[in-house]
Structure 1
């Protein structure tokens, strides 16, 4: 039927979601385990922390260039290059190399992570039909939610029951699977390549929603870096349950947020941002005052719910603020802001925790959320207007 709208669940979309899932699993399996490997090799806590810092710095540096390359040379080739750059260090890790070469390779791997995730996010925005963009981004984001819940557990299980070498081989195989799935994708044709796309480090039309996610991930980093230490101080061994229920809650809220955007438009985005920021704030207050595993589990559910609304909504607004020929730059701007928020938060909250303690630190997480809320409400009209004024320029095959 000629008037029938294109479906969401196409072969290309499913392959890309599966590729993102395996790629994110490979990534998250290394997050808690590489610091343990460094410590086992005789490294200090500072050196263990460099495993994440090296990757984050590299990802932030490469994303703007990746965005330009995606708009200049196309999506699929750049995505394959990013996956390959991430893949090679995983293979070398399996030889149980010393700490310094590992950290250097981790920096290189950050380039692959930055390029790969930016390219996947850009390609999915090309593949998803415009009338289901919110829902499509919501389901696509589930790959990160699932991997956040399963990846660290997989990595820790592998080193506990087998060996670090098997962990690195598993990460290599997962990334290989991600690369193989991308090879099967038939990317949409782009008619505006090779026309002198300028290298810009920030896509100004995407700055509004990107700044909101930057402030939000500043709070997210406090959980990633210090929740386990805070619970250890309180004598509660329930940190894993927080992240498990956070992932489950996010799994439920992301598709809901996407459908809300597609059905309600600007009103749906407005609701998603408000509900998300307020729910995250409530969650962090509960974390600060928690005295039982059940409180922490409820806090995890609330954080997952809130983040599951804010993240796909702000990503939708960033992507939709530009024409299809600038989606690479918009995605690069968004994910650069995401990474910067995590990096800034890790440093900021560490200083605050040392001076005032973990409970006060988690209460102070309210400040960046309030700043995000004030910023959004002040510029709401412009942010939402830009997010619904895109020009479609990609032909779906």
Structure 2
């Protein structure tokens, strides 16, 4: 994978971008709380981010397929850098909701473009390993970010936001200097000339539906993370900002180490089996989170969780890549993220009232729903594997016509 310079550049740019995101992850909710934000406002901040990210995922994918992956990534990163600094100029917590809405728009421009570019430059038989490699760098951002952000926040919350802006600027430099511009007149144009136009029904072919259901279940945690995780660890487990950052790091370290291994395995064994095994292995962890009363135990559980995730996500990514045509790669990635964000929005809005009743309820509910999504999603992936060894969404659509 290191010989593919474009893949390395994509991984480095996303690592830098998500280091910036990770730096404010453990801090943003506590920063808003320090400015007088209530639980309702904090929930609205998360909802605003998720709604805008949801709305703009597919348009961003469409724009990346037409205008260029590189250009869309640069625009999104630049907006994110500016928004990180704007937090420091605002005192009214209500305005944080508007900032989060714009942040969601900017974030929608990055991952679909990056993931689509990986599919552009990596052969199908190596995409599992490629996404494992990408996932390792992606999670390295979450390793560095929360750790740096937590440490900087001990000197003042502003330091974390300034650091986040700087890392977004580093990502922009990497994208501009190291990534090639992929335009419509290259791979997309060749595929369009090779056959008839593809219906949008291909976005919901059977193999893709399985991946979308898995994304919905996976992103439930994001809704919890954006609204409640720092409050849960800080208020109920007595964790400091530094310990919260350590928990994120504990999740990321095994993920970084084993993501490439998981990717190689996904290229060699049945992906539906990997998804089922390592997905269901995560379910008991949510219930253990709910019953623990010690922050250090959560840190240990996060490390185990990160290990399991290192084997399921490359399998899902490789399955999604194999199920998407080149003319719709960014749009498929955008739709995948969109469905995931619906799950995150659902989680943020359902878990908050449950948290008000009892802080354990969101964790128990999340574990149950995630397990159901793994069972259903992996079953659909298995059915699609049984029908063909090389899934073609166009053929899937034709088979149902």
Q: Does the pair score TM above 0.5?
A: yes
d(CA) in 1 for partners of 2:58, 2:388 = 21
Alignment match of 1:153 (pick from 147, 151, 160): 147
| Contact preservation (8 Å) 1:68, 1:200 | no
> Any idea what SS the aligned residue of 2:249 has?
helix
1:125 pairs with 2:119: yes
Shift of 1:224: 5.7
Alignment match of 1:308 (pick from 307, 310, 314): 310
Alignment match of 1:138 (pick from 132, 142, 150): 132
Shift of 1:293: 5.3
d(CA) in 1 for partners of 2:88, 2:118 = 32
How do 1:232-311 and structure 2 match up within 5 A? 235=237, 237=239, 239-264=244-269, 267=270, 269-292=271-294, 295-311=297-313
- 318 and 34 in structure 1: CA distance in 2 versus 1, 3 angstrom threshold: same
> Any idea what SS the aligned residue of 2:154 has?
helix
| Contact preservation (8 Å) 1:63, 1:332 | yes
Shift of 1:292: 4.8
Which residue number corresponds to residue 319 of structure 1? 321
| Contact preservation (8 Å) 1:279, 1:302 | no
> Normalized against structure 2, the TM-score is what?
0.83
Shift of 1:368: 1.4
| Contact preservation (8 Å) 1:35, 1:49 | no
- 364 and 172 in structure 1: CA distance in 2 versus 1, 3 angstrom threshold: closer
Shift of 1:95: 4.0
Higher relative contact order (CA 8 A, sep 6+): 2
| Contact preservation (8 Å) 2:128, 2:317 | no
Deviations 1:359-384 (A, max 9, x none): 35433333213322331354243343
Larger mean Cα displacement after TM superposition, 134-143 or 69-78: 69-78
- 36 and 199 in structure 1: CA distance in 2 versus 1, 3 angstrom threshold: farther
Shift of 1:17: 1.0
> Any idea what SS the aligned residue of 2:292 has?
coil
Which residue number corresponds to residue 211 of structure 2? 209
Shift of 1:338: 2.1
> Normalized against structure 1, the TM-score is what?
0.84
| Contact preservation (8 Å) 1:122, 1:328 | yes
d(CA) in 1 for partners of 2:351, 2:109 = 28
Which residue number corresponds to residue 398 of structure 2? none
Deviations 1:310-360 (A, max 9, x none): 2222222122201111101110011112222222112222333334x3335
For structure 1, list consecutive stretches of 5 or more residues without a partner in the other structure: 1-6, 392-397
Which residue number corresponds to residue 174 of structure 1? 167
Q: Once superposed, what is the RMSD of the aligned Cα atoms?
A: 3.1
| Contact preservation (8 Å) 1:28, 1:151 | yes
Alignment match of 1:47 (pick from 41, 50, 61): 41
d(CA) in 1 for partners of 2:301, 2:18 = 24
- 377 and 285 in structure 1: CA distance in 2 versus 1, 3 angstrom threshold: same
Which residue number corresponds to residue 352 of structure 2? 350
Shift of 1:225: 4.3
1:63 pairs with 2:57: yes
Which residue number corresponds to residue 371 of structure 1? 372
1:38 pairs with 2:32: yes
Shift of 1:209: 0.8
Alignment match of 2:188 (pick from 188, 192, 201): 192
- 167 and 198 in structure 1: CA distance in 2 versus 1, 3 angstrom threshold: farther
Larger mean Cα displacement after TM superposition, 80-89 or 237-246: 237-246
> Any idea what SS the aligned residue of 1:263 has?
coil
| Contact preservation (8 Å) 1:320, 1:386 | no
